[in-house]
């Protein structure tokens, strides 16, 4: 049975910004698991959710197709590209190799003013978690971590992590939000900022290691196969937190 359309934010503003904003929201929906692997979604259906015309949605989906996140299905729409558990493990491993030491190093080098400017984004993550708004949560989380990494001054590194994060799948977010566990993960962003501002490199490393360890549990949480049945998984999201 075909899954119901995802819950996506209504977008306003100038039409020229729709394509980028729709693409960002679609990527967040993919990561959060609100757009499911193997499911086919039409541009008109998603456009109705956004409250915009079909054209910017179709353009955004074509952008995602170029990134390998969806496949075009002739005369039907776009199918979300499947990602294997091995691939997700590999993405998480590479992210840990990059993000943990880079973020820890910022305790020595980052401008305190630049760090402080990320606090509103961290607070946005907490607000989204409290509201159970998974797409807003994922979007703010992406902006926060990429914003931190940008302070290291390596643009290529930021783009590599951006791509890895876009390819991630956090199927356990819905259950975690329902159980009230998302708030604790959200507040780690504020804890991380405080440690960075205190120049406590060891604490930053510890927080980032813990924070990224949650990712494995989140994507491995039970999630439906394209045929609607439940897939067995190696770990449970609740134990990861």
| Reported confidence tier of residue 111, pLDDT bands at 50, 70, 90 | very high
User: What tens digit of pLDDT does each residue of 75-92 get?
Assistant: 899 999 988 889 988 999
User: Quick one: how far is CA 78 from the chain centroid?
Assistant: 20
The mean pLDDT value for 24-28 works out to 89
User: What tens digit of pLDDT does each residue of 194-241 get?
Assistant: 999 999 999 999 999 998 887 767 755 554 444 444 443 333 333 333
The pLDDT value given to residue 90 = 92
Q: Could you give the domains of the chain?
A: 15-80 (1.10.10.10), 85-240 (1.20.120.530)
Distance CA(219)–CA(215), nearest Å, equals: 6
The mean pLDDT value for 96-118 works out to 97
In the chain, the percentage of residues whose pLDDT exceeds 70 is: 83
Question: pTM for the whole thing?
Answer: 0.80
The pLDDT value given to residue 32 = 87
The mean pLDDT value for 152-156 works out to 97
Please determine, for residue 14, whether its predicted confidence score (pLDDT) is greater than 70: no
Please determine, for residue 94, whether its predicted confidence score (pLDDT) is greater than 60: yes
In the chain, the percentage of residues whose pLDDT exceeds 90 is: 51
Please determine, for residue 22, whether its predicted confidence score (pLDDT) is greater than 80: yes
The pLDDT value given to residue 230 = 41
Exposed e or buried b per residue across 102-138, where buried means at least 16 C-beta atoms within 10 angstroms of its C-beta: bbbebbeebeeeebeebeebbbbbbebbeebbbbbbb
What are the Cα distances from residue 115, in Å, to 24, 77, 111, 112, 201?
A: 23, 42, 6, 5, 14
- Whether 139 and 34 have beta carbons less than 8 Å apart is answered as no
- Whether 47 and 78 have beta carbons less than 8 Å apart is answered as no
Tell me how crowded residue 142 is: count the other CB atoms within 10 A of its CB: 21
Please determine, for residue 181, whether its predicted confidence score (pLDDT) is greater than 70: yes
Q: What is the DSSP letter of 69?
A: S
Residue for token pair 């197709």: 65
Q: Report the candidate in 175, 196, 197 with the shortest Cα–Cα distance to residue 241.
A: 175
Tell me how crowded residue 40 is: count the other CB atoms within 10 A of its CB: 16
Residue for token pair 């606090």: 119
């Amino acid at each position: 049975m075909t899954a119901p359309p995802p819950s996506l934010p209504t977008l306003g503003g100038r039409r020229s910004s729709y394509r980028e904003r729709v693409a960002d929201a679609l990527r967040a929906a993919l990561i959060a698991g609100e757009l499911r692997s193997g499911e086919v979604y039409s541009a008109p259906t998603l456009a109705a959710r956004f409250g915009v015309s079909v054209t910017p949605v179709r353009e955004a989906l074509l952008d995602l197709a170029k990134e390998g996140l969806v496949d075009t299905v002739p005369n039907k729409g776009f199918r979300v590209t499947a990602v294997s558990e091995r691939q997700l493990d590999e993405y998480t491993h590479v992210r840990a190799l990059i993000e943990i030491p880079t973020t820890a190093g910022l305790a020595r080098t980052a401008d305190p003013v630049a760090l402080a400017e990320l606090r509103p984004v961290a607070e946005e993550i907490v607000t989204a978690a409290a509201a159970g708004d998974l797409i807003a949560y994922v979007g703010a989380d992406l902006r926060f971590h990429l914003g931190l990494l940008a302070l290291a001054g390596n643009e290529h590194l930021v783009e590599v992590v951006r791509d890895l994060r876009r390819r991630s799948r956090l199927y356990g977010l819905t259950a975690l939000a329902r159980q009230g566990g998302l708030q604790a993960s959200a507040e780690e962003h504020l804890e991380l900022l405080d440690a960075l501002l205190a120049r406590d490199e060891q604490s930053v490393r510890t927080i980032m290691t813990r924070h990224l360890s949650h990712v494995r549990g989140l994507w491995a949480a039970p999630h439906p196969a394209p045929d609607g049945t439940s897939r067995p998984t190696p770990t449970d999201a609740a134990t990861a937190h």
